[in-house]
Amino acid sequence: MIVASILTTNLAILVLAGFIGFVVISKVPNTLHTPLMSGTNAIHGIVLLGGLLVIGFAGNGTFNKIILVIAITFGTINIVGGFLVTDRMLEMFKAKPKPPPAAAQDGSAAAGGAAGAAQDGGAPKDAGAH
């Protein structure tokens, strides 16, 4: 029986993952470009796993251990920092609940109505500049 080699299997996965990556991001509003960049940035922090696996084979070499601990530190910063900073950016896109009394105190009916509208569309809409 002919068995696909590890290399060809991995190449198949690589190519398919590439297509998924292309398809997943087809159209993104301008306002989300930076958070999306930051989110994908966090995902490639998965390179940390490489450090976790290779350090098991570091043996007695002090230098190998040092560079792998740095690699694990870097990978962890990438993941932890990446997801947190994306979350903080996206917090700003959440619809903020606005207390109606504040709008009433405005005194101006126009401002009150507008505040209501803002509440409906709390997330900035597509900048639509493509």
Partner 1 sequence: MIHPVLGSFFVQNPNFLAVLYIIAFSLFIQGLRGLAAPTTAVRGNRIAAVGMLIAVVATLLNRHEGNWGLIALGIALGTAVGIPAARQVKMTAMPQMVALFNGVGGGAAFLIAWSEFRLTHGYSHTPTYIAIFSLFAAIVGSISFWGSNIAFGKLQEILPGRPITLGAGQQAVNLVLLTLAIAAGVDIAAGDSSQGIFIGLLVCAALLGNAVVLPIGGADMPVVISLLNAFTGLATAATGVALNNTALIVAGMIVGASGSILTNLMAQAMNRSIPAIVAGGFGGGGVVEGATGAGEHAGVVRSTSAADAAIQLAYANRVVVVPGYGMAVAQAQHAVRELAKELESRGVEVVYAIHPVAGRMPGHMNVLLAEADVPYDQLKEMDEANPEFPRTDVSLVIGANDVTNPAAKNTPSSPIYGMPILEVADSRSVIVIKRSMNPGFAGIENELYYEPKTSMLFGDAKSAVGEITAELAQI
**Between residues 2 and 22, which has the closer beta carbon with respect to partner 1?**
22
Question: Pick from 17, 21, 71: which is nearest to 46 by CA?
Answer: 71
Binding mask 109-128 for partner 1 (x = CB under 8 A): -xx--xx-xx-xxxxxxxxx
Q: How far is the CB of 1 from partner 1 (least distance, A)?
A: 20
3-class secondary structure, 95: coil
Looking only at residues 43 through 102 of this chain, which bind partner 1 when binding is defined by CB under 8 A?
Answer: 43-59, 61, 63-65, 67-94, 96, 98
Q: How far is the CB of 37 from partner 1 (least distance, A)?
A: 5
Q: How far is the CB of 2 from partner 1 (least distance, A)?
A: 18
**CA count, 13 A, side-chain hemisphere, 88:** 6
Where would I find the beta strands (DSSP E) of the chain? none
Size of the site for partner 1 (CB under 8 A): 100
Question: Pick from 64, 47, 46: which is nearest to 55 by CA?
Answer: 64
Q: How far is the CB of 123 from partner 1 (least distance, A)?
A: 4
Can you tell me the distance from the alpha carbon of 105 to that of 103, in angstroms, rounded to the nearest whole number? 5
